[in-house]
Amino acid sequence: MNRRALLTGFALFAMATLLVPITAAAFETFDRYPGFSYDVGGSTGFDGNDTFFEANAALNTHFSPWMAWRNSIFYRGGGSGDDFFGLDTSALFGRRWPVGEQTGFSLKGGGGYRFTSKGQHAPFAEAGADLAGDSWRIGVNSKYILYEVVGSDRENEFLIGIVLSGSTSGRF
């Protein structure tokens, strides 16, 4: 295992989880817990050699106003023809600040694990910010996948994604 990759992974995970203070202010609010929400999104990324795109759909289980478990199925394409699909599962911690009566700004961060159809599974750290109203959300997310930590021959990857949602997201 590459010591530099392990230290980088630990530092990114620590920054992602410490970036967002755990407080009573919610990044999602429900009448009772657990609560559920869903979303879809897209992102682009690079691995040092090429760029690629990903599309995803996620189901989020909110255990408290500041903690959620996210399960996101994804498809990766483009780039060098390295197309595959998989599941990202992660714990996210967040905080929301009201901007108006129906609007709020939120930060979130955490870590998780990626399972792929190619058998190249790896841990990741992620963080994001968004502005959300009653029926819309716009934001940016980043994810750093740590393939080198598990001894994979793949290079670590960085993804940045834009979240634009309206009727494509919801809570139940």
Q: In sequence order, which residues have a C-beta less than 8 Å from that of residue 10 and are 6 or more positions away?
A: none
Helix (H), strand (E) counts: the chain: 1, 9
Provide the residue-wise pLDDT of the chain in tens; the chain has 172 residues.
Answer: 455 555 555 544 444 444 433 333 345 667 788 888 888 888 888 777 788 899 999 898 989 989 999 999 999 998 776 799 999 999 999 998 999 888 999 999 999 999 999 999 999 999 999 998 877 888 899 999 999 999 888 889 999 988 776 544 456 5
Please name the fold of domain 3-171: Porin (2.40.160)
In angstroms, what is the C-alpha Rg of the chain? 16
Phi and psi, residue 84, nearest 5°: -160, 175
Q: Which pTM value belongs to this model?
A: 0.78
Question: Which residues are registered as beta bridge partners of 67?
Answer: 64, 93
Domain ranges (residues) in the chain:
3-171
